[in-house]
Structure 1
Amino acid sequence: MAERLTAEERLTLKTGAFGAVFLVSNADPGVVAVFRESFAASGALTDASGVVKEALTTGPLPRLPRDSTLEIESVVLPALGRALEILREKSPADVAAYRDVVLAAADRVARAHRGVAPEEAAVIGRIRDALAEAT
């Protein structure tokens, strides 16, 4: 049975998931791409269920740095690992679901506008690594 997540824990899950989408979107920026990518990401994130869906759809949006990719990654990648730790502790059945939702959202964002650019593929690789290291 899943334990209820605190507001801080929900924000950590959100920071990882929304931050991953933000990283992929910024890897190959473009004005038209932003709209397509936002729509693609929201579709993937709303596919979540249970504790993951509750965490991603309630409460405030995370505040992410915007100065540099390295600064964003320094917040987002650790948040992904911490999110999996939280889920392993409080809702182990949702660990794979979170990982799958984040990777699906990142992939959908990358494919939303002219296919996956090499820069986007590299960012998705770093996201995948952050999610794998936490296992």
Structure 2
Amino acid sequence: MSVTLTDQDKLTLRTAAYGAVTLMSAADAAGSPHKAATEGSIALSSATGLVGHVLATYPKELKLDSKSVAAIADQVLPALTAAMALLKEQAPEEADNFRRTVLVAVEASARTHQGRPSPTVTDMSRKITEALDAA
């Protein structure tokens, strides 16, 4: 089955995935936010299938409100839920791929610490997972 996503659909997926990495990086402000962003982005660029093709292009039009982590979360968490709903409807075989890809990126972002991630990073990971599962 061939799936054609609109430009808006692609932007939703990219906002959700790259936004999740941005949230993880912001939650790691006391640690190594640049390394968290790099590791998460590498994980996203390693995706395969339809999801991999969509995430291969960083969304230049992505404008996250960086006034606070809360403002970023207000954009990203609903986008994660919307992306899952969109894929479940239009490409059900890709919904699990997207979820796994985002969670691998979240885990990669969290593993920049020696030892265990901070409670802040762990909590952000939980919020991202809940948003993915809300659809």
The TM-score with structure 2 as length reference comes to 0.90
Equivalent residue, structure 2, for 1:48: 47
Aligned residues: 133
Cα deviation code 1:18-45 (max 9, x no counterpart): 1111111111215x82342233112211
- Paired residue for 2:131? 130
C-alpha distance 70-34 of structure 1, shift in aligned 2 (>3 A): closer
Query: Higher relative contact order at CA 8 Å, sep ≥6: structure 1 or structure 2?
Result: 1
**Which consecutive unaligned segments of at least 5 residues does structure 1 have?**
none
Partner of 1:93: 93
How many Å apart are 1:85 and its aligned residue? 1.3
Moved over 2 A (4+): 58-61
Instruction: State the distance in 1 between where 2:58 and 2:39 align.
Output: 21
CA-atom RMSD in angstroms: 1.6
Q: Give the residue type in structure 1 aligned to 2:47.
A: A
Identity of aligned residues (%): 36
Question: What do residues 49-82 of structure 1 show as CA deviations (whole Å, max 9, x unaligned)?
Answer: 1211121123633211101111111110000011
Pick the structure with more helix per residue: 1
Can you give the 5+ residue segments of structure 2 that lack an aligned partner in the other structure? none
Give me the whole-angstrom Cα distance separating, in 2, the residues matched to 1:100 and 1:118: 22
TM-score normalised over the length of structure 1: 0.90
**Residue equivalent to 1:121:** 122
User: Cα gap change, 1:73/1:6 in structure 2, threshold over 3 Å: closer, same or farther?
Assistant: same
Over 3 Å counting, the alpha-carbon distance change for 1:59 and 1:110 in structure 2 is: closer
8 Å CA contact 1:36, 1:113 repeated in 2? no
Report the counterpart of residue 32 of structure 2 in structure 1: 33
